[in-house]
């Protein structure tokens, strides 16, 4: 069953590209036509690419791995934050910190600083420092929360990265490529589709287009997570049944041995009674 359609993409304006003067020649295979100096994206190819990306991301989520979503442009950040937060995946919607992936150990140290500040507020350390110091630390905590609060649960490098506007997020794309992390992205006519492993040719400026594509992608990821949970539950049930069966087999074997033991003892008792009778005669 198709997860998206040509008409739905048309309604949200996913076919509008940039002006011809700003186009990237590498996007030629995905351009349908030019109208009033603006390139029109071939939505038939967009449908195929969305489904390819959604299926790949679904499998990654099903395997229990993390997918990092990146969207720092104004019209995309709130949409991405809302939809990605709902599926429990990490995301970056503020400025991309250089070395986020290539210098991940340092980023983790910065995130641990947030935990240290939180501990200070709970163990009474704040009560023993000046008001000026408390204010300074509180501001530091707020700044860290804004920048890194959405990736606190990202304890290791993500297994994939999804980017809205690969042209704007070129640093994130480059870092993912350097580390061989599979990359997915919405690619407009001014971008290079070859810069990511899975390119979705579509309008990356219109909020309606971004919201629609993100909705499809997040649903696929949520489905993968749901299937993972189902597989875990099924595995747990199978293990429980196997354990119950082993226990039943053990009880049966013990009972069988006891029964055989009783059968062996009974003839001996009968013989003993006969010998006693003969002796009396």
Over residues 35-62, the pLDDT tens digits come to: 999 999 999 999 999 999 999 999 999 9
Closest CA to 178 of 97, 66, 102: 102
Phi/psi at 154 (nearest 5 deg)? Answer: -85, 90
Parallel, antiparallel, or unpaired for β 16-19 and 38-41? antiparallel
Residue 200 — φ and ψ, nearest 5°?
-110, 100
- C-alpha 127 chain-centroid distance: 40
Strand order in the sheet with 198-201: 91-92, 67-70, 160-164, 183-187, 198-201
* Helical segments of 149-206, H only: 170-178
Beta strands in 56-209 (DSSP E): 67-70, 91-92, 160-164, 183-187, 198-201
What pLDDT does 258 receive?
65
- Rounded to whole angstroms, how far apart are CA atoms 50 and 8? 13
Q: Domain residues of the chain, as ranges? A: 1-94+162-227, 102-156
Q: What is the phi/psi pair of residue 124, to 5°?
A: 90, 5
pLDDT digits (tens, 9 = 90+) for 122-143: 887 877 888 888 899 889 989 9
Assigned CATH for 1-94+162-227 = 3.40.50.10490
pLDDT, residue 246, reads 60
Residues of the chain with pLDDT > 70: what percent? 83
**For residues 27 and 215, is the Cβ–Cβ distance under 8 A?**
no
The pLDDT tens digits for 181-225 are: 999 999 999 999 999 999 999 999 999 999 999 999 999 999 999
Do strands 160-164 and 183-187 pair parallel, antiparallel, or not at all (unpaired)?
Answer: parallel
Q: What is the pLDDT of residues 213-265, one digit of tens each?
A: 999 999 999 999 999 988 888 776 666 666 665 665 666 566 666 666 666 55
Lowest mean pLDDT among 84-93, 153-162, 270-279: 270-279
CATH no. of 102-156: 1.10.287.610
């Amino acid at each position: 069953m198709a997860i998206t359609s040509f008409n739905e993409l048309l309604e949200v304006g996913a076919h509008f590209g940039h002006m011809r003067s700003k186009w990237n020649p590498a996007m030629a295979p995905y351009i349908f036509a030019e109208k009033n100096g603006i390139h029109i994206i071939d939505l038939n190819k967009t449908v195929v690419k969305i489904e390819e990306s959604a299926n790949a991301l679904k499998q990654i989520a099903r395997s229990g791995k993390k997918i990092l979503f990146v969207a720092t442009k104004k019209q995309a950040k709130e949409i991405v934050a809302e939809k990605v937060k709902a599926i429990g995946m990490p995301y970056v919607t503020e400025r991309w910190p250089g070395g986020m992936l290539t210098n991940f150990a340092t980023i983790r140290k910065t995130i641990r600083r947030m935990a240290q500040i939180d501990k200070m507020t709970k163990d009474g350390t704040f009560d023993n420092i000046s008001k000026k110091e408390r204010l300074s630390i509180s501001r530091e905590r707020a700044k860290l929360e804004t920048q890194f609060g959405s990736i606190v649960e990202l304890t290791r490098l993500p297994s994939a990265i999804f980017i809205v506007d690969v042209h704007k997020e070129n640093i994130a794309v480059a870092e993912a490529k350097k580390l061989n992390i599979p990359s997915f992205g919405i690619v407009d006519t001014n971008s290079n589709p070859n810069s990511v492993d899975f390119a979705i040719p579509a309008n990356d400026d219109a909020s309606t287009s971004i919201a629609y594509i993100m909705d499809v992608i997040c649903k696929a990821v949520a489905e993968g997570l749901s299937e993972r949970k189902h597989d875990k539950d099924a595995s747990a049930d199978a293990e429980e049944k196997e354990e119950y069966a082993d226990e039943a087999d053990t009880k049966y074997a013990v009972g069988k041995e006891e029964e055989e033991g009783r059968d062996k003892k009974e003839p001996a008792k009968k013989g003993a009674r006969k010998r006693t009778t003969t002796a009396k005669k």
